[in-house]
Amino acid sequence: MKSPQEVSAIIGRLKELYPDAACSLDYDKDYELLFSVRLAAQCTDARVNQVTPALFARFPTLEAFAAASQEEVGEYVRSCGFWRAKARDIVASAQMLLSDFGGRVPDNMEDLLRLPGVGRKTANLILGDVYGQAGYVCDTHCIRITGLLGLTDGSKDPLKVEQQLRACIPPEESSNFCHRMVLHGRAVCVARRPDCAGCTLRDLCDHGKATGPSPAG
């Protein structure tokens, strides 16, 4: 595991590398982010962003989603994969948001996890991006890269990774840190061929140090 000084250095370098840490999903309303994250499961954010403009134009309010048929919603999201389950969860979530939460996306983990199709990853993202709370979003990029860095013990279990990151990443840094993990995973630490030689984190990374000296070294 890393010392607090090493953790701070990793966070600092990521900030320099990716100053604009933001979710790559396009949305205007809180519930649109919730639905977009559901669509992004086993799908790319880029594909979701191609689908949602027409979806949100056809169903411009939460009430419109709640009254929609799963079949019609499904026609709009078919290209995102697993479209029947995703359409079902979107309609059911819209109905629950109206019936149980006054039409607002919940601001706490317990209530978010009551929504159909919402797990801890989605809930953490909502808490971080919508409400500015701590948000430890443990997606595949975050799980893999934090394991390589040595911020975690290499576990692939999202809950265990979240617990370990909560112990080392300050809450106020958590949401943006996880966004930067995604950006780094797409740009440098690519799963199939990580560019360790060109990685600014190499001298702070357990895996990177094991592959040889950094360019500066």
Domain chopping of the chain, boundaries: 4-21+136-210, 30-129
Active site residue 121: yes
Provide mean pLDDT across the span 85-93. Answer: 98
pLDDT tens digits, one per residue of 44-78: 999 999 999 999 999 999 999 999 999 999 999 99
Q: Which of 139, 156, 195, 206 is catalytic?
A: 139
Does 197 have pLDDT greater than 80?
yes
pLDDT tens digits, one per residue of 94-130: 999 999 999 999 999 999 999 999 999 999 999 999 9
Between 171-187 and 158-166, two packed helices, what is the crossing angle to 10 degrees? Answer: 130
Does 179 have pLDDT greater than 70?
yes
Q: State which CATH number among 1.10.600.10, 1.10.260.40, 3.90.25.10, 1.10.340.30 fits the domain covering 30-129.
A: 1.10.340.30
The whole-number pLDDT of residue 216 equals: 45
CB-CB contact of 137 with 166 (8 Å):
no
pTM for this structure? 0.92
Q: Which of 2, 89, 121, 129 is catalytic?
A: 121
Residue 154 class from Cβ within 10 Å (0-12 exposed, 13-18 middle, 19+ buried)?
Answer: middle
The whole-number pLDDT of residue 213 equals: 60
The whole-number pLDDT of residue 217 equals: 43
> What is the Cα Rg of the chain in Å?
19
Active site residue 15: no
The rounded percent of the chain whose pLDDT value lies above 70 is 97
Q: For the chain, first and last CA: distance in Å?
A: 22
Residue 151 class from Cβ within 10 Å (0-12 exposed, 13-18 middle, 19+ buried)?
Answer: buried
pLDDT tens digits, one per residue of 9-52: 999 999 999 999 989 999 999 999 999 999 999 999 999 999 99
CATH 1.10.1670.10 for the 4-21+136-210 domain, yes or no: yes
